[in-house]
Structure 1
Amino acid sequence: MNIRTNYIINNRTIALVSHYEMANEYTRVIHESESFIVRQPPDEIVRASFIHFGCPLEEAVDLARKILKKPDSIPIALCAKRNLILTRCKVPNQDGIVWLILSHINEIQRYRINKTTVFLTNGQSFYVDIKVNDLKNQRNLAACLCESLVNQSTEQKTKYYLYDHKKEIALALENGKLEYIVKRNKEDDEDLDLDIVLK
């Protein structure tokens, strides 16, 4: 099996699973149709990925708690625009953990009382130590978290294309729509002085 020294989660990442060699915890990365070993524990890969995307893991957890209004057992958004929402589960009957990218789950089924079978988008499946209803709830929360973060991002971005400094007339792309924003302080018969503003 291919071995790497480090890894950053991306759109093709499906899951990170603990893998032990000589008492060292590494990660088996399920990456589309292939798997490989990374010589980092899953939690370390997740932390490095959040830093790579510009938000430390702790800040992402706090933001998810604030949006979802839940203290724990919540999904965490690595990148909402790419639908990279993660949740952490235990591996049944052994040490180790699994980080699932929730958008790569096709189906979940009850396996035993506290265990669930996860069917992935690449056709693979495995067991996780979580109740099926709890994992279903994680998927629902992930959808809410993703939608909320994408909406917040859209609302915060107003792009101005034309702006008249004298009459305060702007042509802007706001909330995905082309809109005129008009606030006149000068007389209407003054000539418009329009500047192109790139943002």
Structure 2
Amino acid sequence: MADAKGKSRRLILLIVFIFVAGIGFAGLFNASLSATNEMEFCVSCHTMETNYLEYQDSLHFKNPSGVQATCADCHVPKAFLPKIATKVIAAKDVYHEIMGTIDTPEKFEEHRWAMASRVWKKMERSDSRECRTCHEFKNMDLSEQGRSARSRHARAEDKGQTCIECHQGVVHEMPREPRVKDDG
């Protein structure tokens, strides 16, 4: 009988330990996700300096309304599973920074077209999900936009276009397309 009580207590202690450890893990995991979404983290790699300077020249950084979109607002989904997938994929950028593939502004520029193209394709696949957090067609007051923007946004909505189809290079400068080598 005493042995059964001892096993029961150990089981309860084990369950309590697993529960507390789970809460601790969840807290640390959430804290690390939050920390890696901070602007300071994003621009801590010196190859991001150019991107940060371009961003500071954009309306996403400074504008009449005072609303600022940060790196994570545009590059990290809000929903949990897409956020985790994005973080896992972004780990390769950290890897390439550490391994020296993109650790200088020159090397970064050499790979910039390919990296930007991957981001654009991801945005097309997600229907510019992160853009639409702030820029949803149904929330636009087209009458307040210039004539060109008003007609283009109306057409884009009718065609079911996504933001990135027209707005590449809005925050970051357009990268140079790699030159095709002429074998002739």
TM-score category, normalised to shorter length: under 0.3
Q: So what's the TM-score if we normalise by structure 2?
A: 0.28
Q: So what's the TM-score if we normalise by structure 1?
A: 0.27
Q: Name the structure, 1 or 2, with higher relative contact order (CA <8 Å, separation 6+).
A: 2
Question: If each structure's helix is expressed as a fraction of its own residues, which one has the higher value?
Answer: 2
